[in-house]
Amino acid sequence: MRVLVTGAAGFIGSHVTDALVDAGHSVAAVDDFSTGKEEHLNTQARLHVADVTDADALDGVFARERPQVVYHLAAQVSVRRSMAAPSLDAGVNVLGSINTIQSCVEHGAERIVLSSTAAVYSEPLYLPVREDHPKRPQSAYGMAKLAVESYLRLYADVYGLRYKVLRFGNVFGPRQDPHGEAGVVAIFTNQMLEGVRPTIFGDGTKTRDYVYVDDVASANMLAMAPRGDNDVYNIARGIETSDFEIFDAVRTATGASVEPAYRVKRPGEADRIALDNSKARRILGWTPKMDLAEGIALEVEHIRSRR
């Protein structure tokens, strides 16, 4: 299968690219290296250095590669940055996505798989949250992702483009950036290994649904199949884990002896979330396999080995 991955040198994108190459697919990788790292990119993927916000450059890549399946992972992923600069966030996450979708149509791609987020939901009315839960994003990042989901439905209705939307929980694992705002496991790990006291925003009870990056890559691989098209799937473990529980698990894995500092919760962040993954299990045949503590230990070891 001819496959194109945007954001292929990023945290999740590089793992998806690895899985595709390992499965024997012909993979074209698109990245502008604004946040992705070339060292993470599989050398068997054909690299195209391009920005998804540059419609002409992106269209040129599609014209050369003629992908059958497209994985769209290129994104601005910082919730805090999206709130500080919403137009910048929309430029990448909305306009860049429209460019990608449009190129799919113009160059005959059979299917696109969109990486979306639990941030599209409102503050949960129930837990775990199903895909049909009300959507009322509390961040510009979530709003942009929800807009792109709507554009996919439009393109499916008008042009017959087939798609799947994968709404991720909090993804963690090796290659996560320990210096950014997203990726609390990597951030806590790096700080503890450096002897820096980590900060928890809020009182430590805020919860997220953590899912290991290899499990996310496996969900993307299953999304290539024709079953379950033109639909949305939660990709997460379905388990609430608090900020303090993550802090404590990282502290155990690193062997650190430190207490967290607490600061006011940042705007745009929900208090609680866990995602119902039963639909992905039933239709895609996906099951998360990695235990949280084991996954955190693997990420800690990865970061430690590169220090």
User: Which pairing describes strands 111-117 and 199-201: parallel, antiparallel, or unpaired?
Assistant: unpaired
CB 271 within 8 A of CB 206: yes
Measuring CA to CA, which residue among 120, 165, 125 is closest to residue 138? 120
Q: Give the contacts of 227 (CB within 8 A, at least 6 positions apart).
A: 283, 284
CATH code for the domain in which residue 157 is found: 3.40.50.720
Indicate if 137 and 190 belong to the same structural domain: no
In this structure, the strands spanning 261-263 and 199-201 are parallel
Do 187 and 219 share a structural domain?
no
Cis bond upstream, residue 128 (ω within 30): yes
Could you list the pLDDT tens digit for every one of the 307 residues in the chain? 999 999 999 999 999 999 999 999 999 999 999 999 999 999 999 999 999 999 999 999 999 999 999 999 999 998 889 999 999 999 999 999 999 999 999 999 999 999 999 999 988 999 999 999 999 999 999 999 999 999 999 999 999 999 999 999 999 999 998 876 669 999 999 999 999 999 999 999 999 999 999 999 999 999 999 999 999 999 999 999 999 999 999 999 999 999 999 999 887 677 899 999 999 999 999 999 999 999 999 999 999 998 8
Instruction: Assign 135 to helix, strand or coil.
Output: coil
Kindly state whether residues 109 and 88 are assigned to the same domain: yes
For the chain, how big is the Rg over CA atoms in Å? 18
Q: Which of 185, 168, 176 is nearest to 119 (CA)?
A: 168
Map residue 29 onto helix, strand or coil.
strand
Identify the domain containing residue 192 by its residue range.
172-208+239-305
pLDDT attached to residue 265: 87
235, 252, 279 — which closes off a domain? 235
Same domain flag for 57 and 92: yes
In this structure, the answer to whether residues 215 and 296 fall within a common structural domain is no
Q: Are residues 299 and 200 in the same domain?
A: yes
pTM above 0.85, yes or no: yes
Residue 74 and residue 165 in one domain: yes
Distance (Å) of CA 198 to CA 61, 256, 262, 265: 42, 11, 9, 14
Per the structure, how many domains does the chain have?
Answer: 2
Residues that are catalytic: 141
Q: 246, 186 in Cβ contact below 8 A?
A: no
Are 227 and 256 members of one domain?
A: no
The reply to whether 110 and 197 lie within a common domain is no
State whether 160 and 37 are in the same domain.
yes
Evaluate whether 190 touches 303 at the Cβ level (below 8 Å).
yes
What was the pLDDT predicted at 28? 98
Spatial separation of the C-alpha atoms in residues 21 and 16, rounded to whole Å? 9
